[in-house]
Amino acid sequence: MSTNPRHIALVAHDNKKASMLEWAAFNRGTLTRHHLYATGTTGTMLQHELGLPVHRFFSGPVGGDQQIGAKIAEGVIDILIFFWDPLEPQPHDPDVKALLRLAAVWNIGVASNVTTADMLISSPLFSGLYQPVRPDFGDVTGELVSAAASRTGAPERE
């Protein structure tokens, strides 16, 4: 068993949902030892078909991708398994790009297909104590308060 349960987001575009279900079924034993998150339909599919406990967000096109992106920025999500469909235009393509951008900015593991997902989940680092280096963007809240205080003359918060 992993000494460090991961927080894994699972996302799949419509044409990739069958691949995600097959991949998750094959890796069910490993996935049960971790905290799973998914966008709407993908999460429902994983819960009903495999009995996996999944924290479900909205469907991707109605904000689910952005919800997962927020969890990445908050430091909650460690790994993103995102089976996206490069051959099918997506109406929410800006959200997809924003999600992938956040994953890169916050230096989390990302798999975009079955091969990469297999390599990621089977790595000794996956089940070990590996902690990725997270960028330090400072205390954004404090910076905003300080900037507002300098404009209004209010005392700065420490």
Catalytic residue selected from 65, 93, 95, 139: 65
* Structure token pair of residue 34: 């971790």
Burial classification of residue 38, based on how many CB atoms lie within 10 Å of its CB (0-12 exposed, 13-18 middle, 19 or more buried): buried
What residues have CB less than 8 Å from 90, skipping those under 6 apart?
A: 13, 61, 84, 96
Burial call 107-126: b when 16+ CB within 10 Å, e when fewer: ebbbbbebeebeebbeeeeb
85 given a catalytic annotation? no
User: Using CB atoms within 10 A of its CB, is residue 21 exposed (0-12), middle (13-18) or buried (19+)?
Assistant: middle
C-alpha count within 13 angstroms, C-beta hemisphere, residue 52: 29
- Please give the positions annotated as active site: 65
